[in-house]
Chain A
Amino acid sequence: MSTTVIQIITLITTAISFGTVILFGSLGEILTEKSGHLNLGVPGIMYLGGIGGLIGSFLYENASASPVPFVGMLVALAGTLICSVLGGLIYSFLTVTLRANQNVTGLTLTILGSGVANFFGGSLSKLAGGVGQISVPATSSAFCATQKLSDALVALVSKGASSSGFLRVLGGVLDGFDKVFLSYGFMVYVAVIIAILLSLFINRTSKGLNLRAVGENPATADAAGINVIRYKYLATCTGAAISGLGGLYYVMDYINGTWANDGNIEALGWLAVALVIFATWKPLRSIWGAYLFGALYWLYNYIPGLTRSMQEVFKMLPYAVTIIVLIMVSLRHKKEDLPPSSLGLSYFREDR
């Protein structure tokens, strides 16, 4: 394969594995925002999800003599869901029940989440014997395991590659297919499945219709007999759970079961919030949006001769694209592309 093709394939795979982190984050946020709640605590919740999973699997692997990867994975998932839903509960209790300002609450949650996560990340490092020593190899292996096309088949095709031009091309294609579509841990596919299910839920089910009504006009939803408070809580907490998976995926797969107090998750969390806007609150759009963000973010690696500062400019591209989308959306002014009408507003039935 030519180097250009290899480079393109690497960019795509980098984009997809990177994009999956923000895809989880944004899917959770889309669900939350559909209920009219702007949760700027996504970075914090992703932090909580990441550290929750790590703590769970770390304790399990330390307690067990020969940790089973699958069990480690389940423990990690449970840890993530518990921690991120807790984050979601804090947010929904403050904004739904106490009707606190959503922006302030969300930002506070981000600060809290990153603080808590980095605190426990530091503690785990200490337990593990020093910075950079945390490792959950068994659990991480369960997250990173890939299911490629039969290697034998690829080998066979490549073997015959020297003799036949057709087989050579076929081998290359198979290899490329493996790399582009099948070289990831299962969470990458889970993210896509969640996006599709979320889209079907929002657009095709009666509960999804109710949820949209709650986010558009809670007073109307209330008058129609919808339990607005319950929908808001459920959407916010489920959304937090999905966002938290992004943190888990980052910790277990993207950085292979370690921890670094480097603030990366927060940066990714903000990208996830930007992606919600980019995708105009549509889960399916956020799939390719996430991968596009990933590609744009890592583009600088594939452009030779960039200075350090130019690299940073390139990393800005996802945000620049989001701004362009915002401009386009407001120019087109299609009502279906606008955020939920009551986004950011708290609801109280007897408000006069």
Chain B
Amino acid sequence: MEEKTNVTAEKKKVTIPRGDPAVEMIGITKTFGSIVANSSVSLSIYHGEILSLLGENGSGKTTLMNMLSGIYFPDAGTIKVNGKAVSIRSPKDAYDLHIGMIHQHFKLVGLLTAAENIMLGLKGKFVLDLKSVRKAVRDICEKYGFDIDPDKKVYDMSVSEKQTLEIVKVLYRGADILILDEPTAVLTPQETQRLFGIIRNMKADGKSIVIITHKLHEVMAVSDRVAVLRKGVYIGDLATKDTNPQQLTDMMVGRAVSLNIERPEPENIRECLKVENLSVVDSEGVTKLQDVSFTAYGGEILGVAGVSGSGQKELLEAVAGLQPAKPGSSIVFTDMDGKTSSLIGKTPMEIKKLGVHLAFVPEDRLGMGLVGDLDIADNMLIRTYTEGNSVFVDMKRPRKLAQEIVKEFEVVTPGITTPVRKLSGGNVQKVLVGREISGNPSLMMSAYAVRGLDINTSYTIYRLMNEQKKRGAAVIYVGEDLDVLLELCDRILVLCAGRISGIVDGRKTTKEEVGLMMTHLPSEEAQA
């Protein structure tokens, strides 16, 4: 009898009332070689709260949380869970303490099914028992409002499904503290809303949730409290309801930042790129672009909006000579002197030889844009190695350019001989954009140029685009954030399923109008 009361007392003790921290990190320091990722950071996570961990790229948010989830081990400092000092040496230790992290790059095995991924690494019967996992998965889905098929292979899943699976996996392992690293970076607005709903459900269930992010409107929308990191140092925390985006930005960046995007009036407009009836069919015979016609003018920014996969990639690649266009398509480039040349059927090298200076910032930065294993200087070389008649490659110029870019764009790197894959996302993009605009291009194309970048870097990119526009280059900006497109672009071309549903004036249109055009082509009858 006595024992029984003891057990209930134990249980009551475990459900600590709100106000006591679930996790305390005290004086945490972590260094990688000469880089200090976290410097004496102290942070608490409370029961049943949604905490936003805000900071720019490279500010050490992910590193800090990785030390909670057992990926890294701190060099100095203490971690307490429910008031008890713990040592988290591996992800397994973290799970044992009911801490689960959903990483930005999903930790899923593509070849396995959802249920198998959830089972991974768990103690269980020797013979796989997928039946009970399936049932447990369905229970969790019902409880929080997920939708997931336990027998679907991960390689068949969409990004949003994978993320859901990650959350289910962590919940299945009994996590009470969930850490989500940039969870919305890859989601559509609708999917983001659904995720926030789920997060609120989990909070209602008494779980603590940490969201690592640099998107201010998400911080405002979903969190209870915000903690800000800057350059590895803990700046402070605020209740979300007591703060505003401007204050948070200032804390995050360390100085006052204007959140308005500049849009100078276009000057000296001239025709630069005339695309007519461009159609592209991919290798599997699927039509990606159909009868696309538009003109890009030097001195203006032409935005391209559309649901992802509507043909944005193919459009840019067709112009860059990377994607064959169907017969009947025409792409004519006019340079600053008025000389015209057709780009149809040309390879990128041939286009370059025509004297067309084309800057291209592709979506896939570390695949198509830069070579991850090469250093910054060698990545500059990729653009220039064919120049000159010497047997030997000119190494001096690329090195100089690399140094200039590092200096001018404040690229955070140990040196120009660092492989670019070791740089953070924002710095990678700075290197890429820096290289592309280095030779004063007459046409600048960029796809999702600020995806995954922090505010500071994003604004640097917008500024660089505007500089190119003022120089007289035609800028084509493929974007996903409609607010930015509406603020930055002079005209916006809206793609819908590989066709143009219209070109609108960036100064006059509304988010709703563009959003509607993204999903609806003007009906055939209306055109006739």
Contact = CB atoms under 8 A, between A and B. Distances in A.
The 5 closest A-B pairs by CB, nearest first: A225-B92, A224-B121, A224-B120, A220-B107, A226-B121
A126 interface: no
Contacts of B112: 209, 212-213, 216
A223 B127 CA distance: 22
Interface in B464-510: none
Contact of A350 (B72, B121, B122): B72
B281 interface: no
B91 A223 contact: yes
Give the residue among A222, A223, A349 with the most B Cβ atoms within 10 A.
A223
B95 interface: yes
B95 A213 contact: no
B32 A220 contact: no
Nearest to B101: A223
Given A221-B120, A224-B91, A226-B121, A335 B126 contact: no
A217 B121 contact: no
B91 A225 contact: yes
A336 B122 contact: no
A204 interface: yes
A219 to B, nearest CB: 6
A195 B103 CA distance: 37
Interface string B295-330: 000000000000000000000000000000000000
Interface string B98-125: 0001010001111110001001111011
A159 interface: no
B436 to A, nearest CB: 26
A335 B155 contact: yes
Give the residue among A217, A226, A341 with the most B Cβ atoms within 10 A.
A217
A204 B119 CA distance: 12
7 contacts: A209-B119, A213-B109, A217-B108, A223-B71, A223-B107, A225-B121, A352-B32
B111 A341 contact: yes
B1 interface: no
Contacts of B71: 223, 349-350
A206 interface: yes
A330 interface: no
B88 to A, nearest CB: 12
Contacts of A222: 90-91
Give the residue among B90, B108, B109, B422 with the most A Cβ atoms within 10 A.
B109
B128 interface: yes
B111 A335 contact: yes
Contact of A221 (B121, B127, B128): B121
Tell me the interface secondary structure of chain B in the complex: loop
Interface residues of A, number: 25
A210 B120 contact: yes
Nearest to B73: A350
Interface residues of B, number: 30
Contacts of B127: 204-206
Interface string B121-143: 11011111100000000000000
Nearest to A225: B92
Contact of B103 (A213, A223, A350): A223
B112 to A, nearest CB: 7
A99 interface: no
A234 to B, nearest CB: 15
A205 B126 contact: yes
Contacts of B129: 206
Contacts of B95: 225
Contacts of B72: 350
A224 B116 CA distance: 12
Contacts of B92: 225
A217 B126 contact: no
A59 to B, nearest CB: 39
Given A206-B119, A221-B120, A223-B103, 8 more contacts: A217-B109, A220-B108, A223-B107, A226-B120, A335-B111, A335-B153, A349-B71, A350-B71
A352 B112 CA distance: 25
A182 B103 CA distance: 55
Contacts of B103: 223
Contacts of A226: 120-121
A209 B122 CA distance: 10
Contacts of A213: 109, 112, 120-121
A165 to B, nearest CB: 51
A221 B120 CA distance: 7
A341 B121 CA distance: 18
Interface string A215-259: 011011111111000000000000000000000000000000000
